[in-house]
Chains A and B, each alone.
Chain A
Amino acid sequence: MKAQDERGKDVLDIDVRGPRFSAALTFAVLSAAYLLKSPGLLAFQVVVFGVAAFAGLRWSPYGNVFRFLKRNLTFIGPPPATEPESGPRFSQLMGFLFSAAGLALLTNGAETVGWSLVLVVVGLSALLAFTGICVGCEMYALGQRLRGKAA
């Protein structure tokens, strides 16, 4: 689905439940990676974040799992609302940066710091899964304030 944002740019509109579903999967995968101390599982999640952030949510692996389930499980129903992909895509990018940094650190010996970064992502994905918080909206107000301060 295509829609236009407030500035007239074409953006992909997504089901608001998609990011919550993805966050729940992310939470499960990263928790398992932490408990098993598995860099392989963490690397898998880094790739998932990277695809969603750089190729767009149309290609998001977890997003496509959600779409597959929607097509096959009728009780999930139509989207209660849709939102532009920009905000969720930005949070995928943040997830990518944190988890990739964590992976780089722990494969280079800094295990504690590396896994701590992973735990940060675990906490944020749990938050998103629990609340469905609109990350883009939250970041925007804070970002504008910071930018205003710098100017």
Chain B
Amino acid sequence: MAEALPLLLVVAAAALFSVWWKRRDGRIRDVEDRFTAEEVAAVGAPAGTAVLLEFTAPNCAPCRATKQVLEDVSALWPEVALVTIDVADALSVVKAHHVLRAPTTFVLAPDGAVRGRISGVPDPGELADLLDGDGGPRPPRGRKLSADLHVETPSRARPRWARRSRAA
């Protein structure tokens, strides 16, 4: 029985890490961070606008899924710019903001302040809520668009985005 103990410990550690990981994955975290004007320029984002910034890796299925979510959400907020950049193409920014994973998404206010940070594939409804929030960019024509999005994506299971096959 003592023989099995190291194995049980390893499995328990993996299970604990998995729970932590799943709780964090795709959630918007409120972090105290700010991109300088140089950093905004370095990633190729336009100055003075709100930005959805995704750091990607090549051959990364979650990165493609993230890009799809960001495209769908940003289509509702024309004033929000969408930028995707390979981790390798902005290493100094990646290091300055401690990006350890791809995909990592930053929601930037026009002044470069980080309004949210997401590791993994974001939940479109949650993301829309953030864009819709106080002080952020407003949805066009004053409609509460995040509510519409929630109708389309009722759960956090993100089935609609994940089901889209990219094999063809």
Indicate if the CB atoms of B15 and A82 lie closer than 8 Å: no
Q: How far is the CA of A116 from the CA of B10 in the complex (A)?
A: 10
- 17 inter-chain pairs at a CB distance below 8 angstroms, sorted by A residue, are A6-B58, A13-B166, A13-B167, A16-B61, A35-B4, A80-B162, A80-B163, A83-B60, A131-B22, A134-B61, A138-B101, A140-B57, A141-B94, A141-B102, A141-B104, A142-B100, A148-B95
Of the residues B15, B94, B163, B165, contact of A144 by C-beta under 8 Å: B94
Shortest CB-to-CB span from B20 to chain A, Å, is 10
- The B-contacting residues of A in range 105-151, CB under 8 angstroms, are 116, 119, 122-124, 126-127, 130-131, 133-134, 136-138, 140-142, 144-145, 148
B6 within 8 A of A: yes
Of the residues B10, B17, B18, contact of A122 by C-beta under 8 Å: B10
Q: What chain B residues lie within 8 Å of A3 (beta carbons)?
A: 166-167
Main secondary structure of the interface of A (DSSP, over half): helix
Q: What chain A residues lie within 8 Å of B110 (beta carbons)?
A: none
Shortest CB-to-CB span from B43 to chain A, Å, is 15
**Contact residues of A with B, CB < 8 Å?**
1, 3, 5-7, 11, 13, 16, 31, 34-35, 37, 78-84, 86-87, 116, 119, 122-124, 126-127, 130-131, 133-134, 136-138, 140-142, 144-145, 148
Main secondary structure of the interface of B (DSSP, over half): helix
Q: What chain B residues lie within 8 Å of A140 (beta carbons)?
A: 57-58, 60, 87, 102
Of the residues B15, B18, B91, B102, contact of A137 by C-beta under 8 Å: B102
B106 within 8 A of A: no
A-B contact count (CB 8 A): 114
Of the residues B13, B57, B59, B104, contact of A11 by C-beta under 8 Å: B59
Indicate if the CB atoms of A130 and B14 lie closer than 8 Å: yes
Q: How far is the CA of A86 from the CA of B166 in the complex (A)?
A: 16
Shortest CB-to-CB span from B167 to chain A, Å, is 5
